[in-house]
Chain A
Amino acid sequence: MFDNYVLTDNSLENVKKDGEITGYKMRTRITYYRGIPLSMVHDIQVEVDGQEVPRERIRFSPDGEIYFTLEEMKTVTSYKWEYGQEGIVYVEQPGGLAPGEHKIKLTQVSRVAYIPVPFSGTQTKTLTVN
Chain B
Amino acid sequence: MSSIKRAVSLYSYQDEYVRGKLTLEGCLQELAEIGVEGVEVITDQMFHNTPETDDASIKNWKRIVEETGIVPVCNDIFINTNLYHNRMLTKKENLDFLKKELVQASKLGFPMVRLVSATPADIIEEALPLAEELNVIMALEVHAGMALDNALTKKFTDIMFKLDSPYLGLVVDTGIFCRRHPRVSTAFFLDQGLNPEIVKYIDDIFASGDDPLELSHNKLPEDLEKMVRSRIDREYILFAGGYENKDFSVLDPYMPYVKHFHGKFWEMTEEGTEYSIPYKELIEYLKEKGYDGYIASEYEGGRFALPGTEIDAVAQVRKQQDMLRSYI
Residues of A within 8 A of B (CB): 1-2, 4-5, 29, 33-37, 39-40, 42, 74-75, 77, 80, 82-84, 111, 113-114
Contacts and interface: CB of A to CB of B under 8 A. Distances in A.
B110 interface: no
Q: Ordered nearest first, which 3 A-B pairs have the shortest CB separation?
A: A34-B44, A114-B118, A34-B45
B48 A111 contact: no
27 contacts: A1-B303, A33-B14, A34-B42, A34-B44, A35-B44, A36-B44, A36-B80, A37-B80, A39-B83, A39-B85, A40-B80, A40-B83, A74-B84, A74-B86, A80-B48, A80-B49, A83-B14, A83-B44, A83-B45, A84-B17, A84-B18, A84-B45, A111-B82, A111-B85, A113-B81, A114-B116, A114-B146
Contact of A83 (B46, B49, B83, B116): B46
Give the dominant DSSP class at A's interface.
loop
Given A35-B44, A74-B85, A83-B46, A2 B80 contact: no
Contacts of A40: 80, 82-83
A18 B201 CA distance: 62
Given A42-B85, A114-B118, A83 B18 contact: yes
What range describes how many residues of B lie at the interface?
20 to 34
Interface of B: 11, 14, 17-18, 20, 42, 44-46, 48-50, 78-86, 116-119, 146, 303, 307
Contact of B50 (A4, A35, A111): A35
A34 B80 CA distance: 12
A1 B235 CA distance: 12
A34 B203 CA distance: 32
Nearest to B44: A34
Contacts of B80: 36-37, 40, 113
Nearest to A110: B82
Given A1-B303, A33-B14, A114-B116, A75 B45 contact: no
Given A2-B303, A113-B116, A33 B42 contact: yes
Nearest to B23: A84
